[in-house]
Amino acid sequence: MVALTSWWQSAVVYQIYPWSFQDSNGDGIGDIPGIIERLDYLNDGTAASLGVDAIWLSPLYPSPMVDFGYDVAEFCDIDPRFGTLGDFDRLVQESHRRGIRVIMDLVLNHTSDRHPWFQEARSSRSAAKRDWYYWADGKAFGRRPNNWNARFGGSSWAWDSPSRQYYLHSFLKEQPDLNWHNPAVRRAMWGVVRFWLDRGVDGFRLDAINWLGKDSRWPNNPFRPGLRGYTRQTHRYDRDQPMGHEVLRELRTLSGNYPEVVLIGEASADTPGGPVAFYGNGTDELHMLFDFRLLKSPWQADRFGQLLAADQQRIPEGGWPTIVFSNHDQSRHIDRYGKGGHAERRARTTAVLLLTLRGTPFLYYGEELGMKNTRLRYRDLRDPYTKRFWPFRIGRDPARTPMQWDESVHAGFTRGTPWLPVASNYRDLNAAQESQNHSSLLSLYRRLIRLRKVYPALSEGAYRHITTAPSDCLVFLRQQPSPSDTDPDILVAVNFSADARTVTLSDFTKVGTVQLSTLTGAGSARPWHPAQFHLEPDEAIVVALPNGEAGR
Ligand code: TEU
Ligand code: CA
């Protein structure tokens, strides 16, 4: 086991959805000055703050906001709703001053249809940038070029009547796909990357990378029976092309000039080979990939155990895992994992998993408070995807409501009218209150983040699954990297069931100490015996054990 070499391997990353974090000017929309006001909450250098090491900002670029910023109209600027480039520079400065790195979102697959590139491209068939996007003629009798379906519903082809051709969009029709076969597109985009790196950003979260590149002979996707909409076809030709890897290798080479920079990819769970394919050989594509399989897993010890065991092996040497349970595209995990059980207790247990598993944890704003999916009326919805499938799918807006800071009007998020309603539970569930309460979820996150800093085993240690009876408990060991040190190994035991359990670990003999239990949020000085121990319903414990225990 080699010691960690990069800041992001031991970092805890916090995702900010700029629309919903903090409004500073009363227009009801979060903004950069608002984020700056709240940086101390994230890390003020003391144990009174959360203690995160990096923020990932969902897109801040100028945008018509049809997809809330994932439709970029200009890559080298800041949307006026959020502030100015000057505000952004101040954010980077103020973050760095607190030891917080800044990760930008970067959307490579598409732009907004309002982007000047697309405006030019659609101006005529012979436009200079025509082939920066994908165009195709219709088939006879007004039929589309092929059967490809867009991720957000309907066909991937939109008719452009002035130029009498179709253009391709894998998401909304307001998000035309860029043609990555075109070297000019690559040059332009790598210019964008340099622009932000030269401004001091510490990395990128790369959006929807498995969509880069298309089979531009436009073959039909094979039909897949029994399912509806997007999943009714195998996306063989409109995604997951070898081209994507080529593009990411170029990006990795470019980022090599900025040795501290981190590249984190978001790919669909069902991309061939899984998202791990985008680590390349471990050193030539991305540093980290989101893996949503745990996020999508039911709340079952054996499912988690299997996925974890498989994952750790599949990442090539040089690549590094991520742990993520919530984000701006998913329903919040407190409701997802909490379904059919004790949601609050499971949320505490999930916090333990997030911060003790091997890999860089990503936490989504409000997760640390236990913010829930907010019930919204149709007329309150803003996201076209959420509206389209409402009420059959929960969609994304319920997980994007304003951060709940305190019990004042609109939870302290805005003095105006919030762009999405503030959840009605904010008077009882907010950061101010939880800060004062030692047994709150927020206090638990703070303590777990501190434990990660104290015990190298939690950031650097190898992961070892420990087989147990009963099978509805998950037990694993994080092994301290150099056995000659006095730093302990960390054992984590999680009871996924709603009943108390007694766990027996036969090959553990030495006595440890419980550093934290989700029941109290605190540890205990009493000696703890691994051979046989007790877990309360939905309880997770973090235990320090003398290293070298249980035969390496
Ligand atoms: O999401 C890509 C993605 O895989 C989505 O299809 C996701 O499954 C969807 O949001 C359903 O929950 C990224 C961004 O994270 C998302 O917010 C954007 O809307 C999308 O790309 C297009 O840029
Ligand atoms: Ca604002």
What pLDDT shows up at residue 551? 47
- The 3-state secondary structure of 420-475, one letter per residue: CCCCHHHHCCCHHHHHHCCCCHHHHHHHHHHHHHHCHHHHHCEEEEECCCCCCEEE
Considering only CA atoms, which residue is closest to atom 7 of ligand 1?
A: 329
Kindly state the average pLDDT of the residues 91-114.
Answer: 98
Centre of ligand 1 to C-alpha 329, Å, is 6
Q: Which ligand is nearest to the CA of 417?
A: 2
Mean of the pLDDT values across residues 363-390? Answer: 98
Given pLDDT bands bounded at 50, 70 and 90, which one contains residue 552? Answer: very low
Q: Is 25 left (phi over 0), alpha (psi -120 to 50) or beta?
A: alpha
Residue 394 CB less than 6 A away from ligand 1: no
Please name which of 342, 423, 417 lies closest in space to residue 376, comparing C-alpha atoms: 423
Name the nearest CA neighbour of 297 among 372, 255, 353.
353
Which residue, 483, 105, 540, 120, is CA-closest to 329? Answer: 105
More confident site: 329 or 550: 329
- Pocket of ligand 1 contains residue 270 by CB under 6 Å: no
Query: Hey, whose CA ends up nearest to atom 9 of ligand 1?
Result: 329
pLDDT (0 to 100) of residue 485: 83
Which amino acid is it at 455? Y
Q: Could you report the per-residue pLDDT of 231-248, keeping only the tens digit for each? A: 999 999 999 999 999 999
Average pLDDT over residues 285-294: 96
Is any ligand 1 atom within 6 A of the Cβ of residue 151? yes
Cα–Cα distance measured from residue 259 to residue 491, given in angstroms and rounded to the nearest whole number: 34
Across the chain, how many H-helices and E-strands are there?
Answer: 14, 19
Ligand nearest to C-alpha 81: 2
Q: Whose CA is nearest to atom 12 of ligand 1?
A: 329
Report the pLDDT averaged over residues 335-354. 98
Summarised one tens digit per residue, pLDDT across range 122-156 is 999 999 999 999 999 999 999 999 999 999 999 99
pLDDT at 227: 77
Q: What is the dihedral of CA 181, 187, 190, 191, to 10 degrees?
A: -150
Instruction: Looking at the CA of residue 109, tell me the nearest atom of ligand 1.
Output: 23
* Burial zone of 270 (CB within 10 Å; 0-12 exposed, 13-18 middle, 19+ buried): middle
Q: In sequence order, what DSSP letters do the residues of 133-172 get, joined into one string?
A: B-EE--BGGGB-SS--B-TTSSBSEEEETTTTEEEE-SS-
Per-residue pLDDT tens for 179-235?
999 999 999 999 999 999 999 999 999 999 999 999 999 999 999 997 778 999 999
Cβ–Cβ < 8 Å for 404, 32? no
Q: Is the per-residue pLDDT at 277 higher than 50?
A: yes
**Residue whose CA lies nearest to ligand 1 atom number 14:** 207
Percent of the chain whose pLDDT exceeds 70: 98
Strand partners, 15: 56, 364
C-alpha to C-alpha distance for 168 and 132, rounded to whole angstroms = 11
Q: Among 106, 111, 151, name the best residue to mutate to test ligand 1's pocket (greatest count of ligand atoms within 8 A of Cβ).
A: 151
Q: How far apart are CA 361 and CA 333, in angstroms?
A: 14
Residues marked active site are found at 207, 266
For residue 67 and ligand 1, the question of a CB distance below 6 A is answered with yes
Is this model's pTM higher than 0.95 or not? yes
pLDDT band (50, 70, 90) for residue 548: confident
In testing the pocket of ligand 1, which one of 15, 70, 103 has its CB within 8 Å of the most ligand atoms? 70
